[in-house]
């Protein structure tokens, strides 16, 4: 076997390169972030920005960033967007190759790195990836404190398409969403992209399909009622860091989440696992 090798990007970040008879993948220890996933004989599924500089301490623009213990700007305007863990190194605590070609990786976020100014709770945070012809990414939070806390989070997956104008998402028909402060519901069977899209669906079915010119990507979620659908479109693309002006034409984010009414109340000693799984249909 020997499918997994530890490599170092010229800018210094360490990552795992995995090459099996079934798939290839790359996972950065910073952010425990899957940045590349490609089943053999199929196109790559995840989008990664060509403008990414891979500087240590920056978020990596693409793949599956981990947003924890809050999503977006919440709980306060001065809080770092999308939480505390996506720009810091995680520890690899398990890597297991099965003869079938399936690979299981487990990462833990070192508790001492948690900024107690923003997050004054003891907890254990683990990301597990099960990679084969599909990729499954889970994040488990265990409350080790003596008081409960409230958590929002997302597995912020960037998917690749060759043409956003020929891309749509099914599985969201009749679901209510919040976008730019307004509530709405889409009656169409497929959501298409013609402008900036930044929707939080708070009670969506557990599976969607992304229809791209390359085929259909199935994206499913567990322990998650909410999901986020995002494409920055023309103007926001120009303002985003590590994102090319035309990059909005080749990506779409469909994020497994626990946000809005779907936020998690975690009592002491309890644990909660959010999971997303994706692959070609």
Sign of dihedral through CA atoms 43, 171, 81, 15?
Answer: negative
Q: Is 87 in the site for ligand BG6 (CB under 6 A)?
A: no
Q: Which residues pair with 148 in a beta bridge?
A: none
* Other beta carbons less than 10 A from residue 120's beta carbon: 11
Question: Of 123, 139, 228, 274, which lies in the binding site for ligand BG6, with binding defined by CB under 6 A?
Answer: 228
Separation between Cα atoms, residue 140 and residue 119, nearest integer Å = 16
C-beta of 31 vs 279, nearer to ligand BG6: 31
Q: Rounded to the nearest whole angstrom, what is the least distance from the CB of residue 238 to ligand BG6 in the complex?
A: 13
Question: Of 28, 37, 121, 230, which lies in the binding site for ligand BG6, with binding defined by CB under 6 A?
Answer: 230
Q: Is 81 in the site for ligand BG6 (CB under 6 A)?
A: yes
* Other beta carbons less than 10 A from residue 280's beta carbon: 17
Cβ-contact 278, 134 below 8 angstroms: yes
Binding mask 112-141 toward ligand BG6 (x if CB under 6 A, else -) reads ------------------------------
**Residues in region 153-192 near ligand BG6 by CB under 6 A:** 156
Angle at 102 between CA 97 and CA 107, to 5 degrees: 65
C-beta of 126 vs 226, nearer to ligand BG6: 226
Question: Of 31, 59, 62, 63, which lies in the binding site for ligand BG6, with binding defined by CB under 6 A?
Answer: 59
Q: Rounded to the nearest whole angstrom, what is the least distance from the CB of residue 98 to ligand BG6 in the complex?
A: 33
C-beta of 21 vs 180, nearer to ligand BG6: 180
Question: Of 51, 179, 198, 277, which lies in the binding site for ligand BG6, with binding defined by CB under 6 A?
Answer: 198
Tokens for 33? 């972030």
Burial annotation 223-248 (CB, 10 A radius, 16+ → b, else e):
ebbbbbbbbbbeeebeeeebbeeebb
Q: Which residues bind ligand BG6 (CB under 6 A)?
A: 59, 81-82, 156, 198, 228, 230, 240, 253, 255
């Amino acid at each position: 076997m020997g499918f997994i090798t530890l490599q170092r990007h010229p800018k210094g970040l360490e990552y795992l390169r995995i090459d099996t008879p079934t798939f290839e993948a790359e996972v950065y220890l910073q952010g425990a972030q899957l940045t590349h996933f490609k089943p053999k004989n199929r196109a790559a599924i995840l989008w990664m920005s060509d403008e990414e500089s891979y500087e240590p301490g920056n978020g990596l623009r693409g793949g599956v960033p981990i947003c924890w213990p809050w999503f977006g700007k919440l709980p306060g305007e001065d809080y770092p967007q999308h939480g505390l863990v996506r720009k810091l190194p995680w520890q690899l605590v398990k890597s297991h190759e099965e003869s079938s070609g399936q690979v299981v990786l487990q990462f833990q976020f070192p508790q001492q790195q948690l900024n107690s100014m923003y997050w004054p709770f003891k907890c254990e945070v683990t990301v597990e990836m099960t990679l084969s012809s599909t990729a499954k990414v889970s994040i488990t939070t265990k409350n080790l404190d003596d008081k409960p806390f409230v958590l929002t989070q997302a597995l912020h997956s960037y998917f690749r398409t060759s043409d956003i104008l020929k891309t749509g998402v099914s599985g969201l028909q009749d679901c209510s969403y919040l976008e730019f402060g307004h509530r709405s519901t889409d009656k169409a069977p497929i959501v298409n992209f013609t402008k900036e899209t930044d929707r939080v669906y708070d009670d969506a079915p557990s599976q969607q399909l992304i229809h791209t010119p390359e085929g259909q990507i199935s994206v499913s979620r567990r322990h998650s009622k909410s999901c986020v659908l995002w494409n920055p479109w023309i103007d926001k693309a120009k303002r985003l860091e590590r994102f090319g002006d035309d990059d909005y034409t080749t990506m779409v984010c469909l994020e497994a989440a626990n946000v809005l009414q779907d936020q998690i109340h975690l009592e002491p000693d309890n644990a909660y696992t959010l999971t997303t799984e994706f692959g070609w249909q």
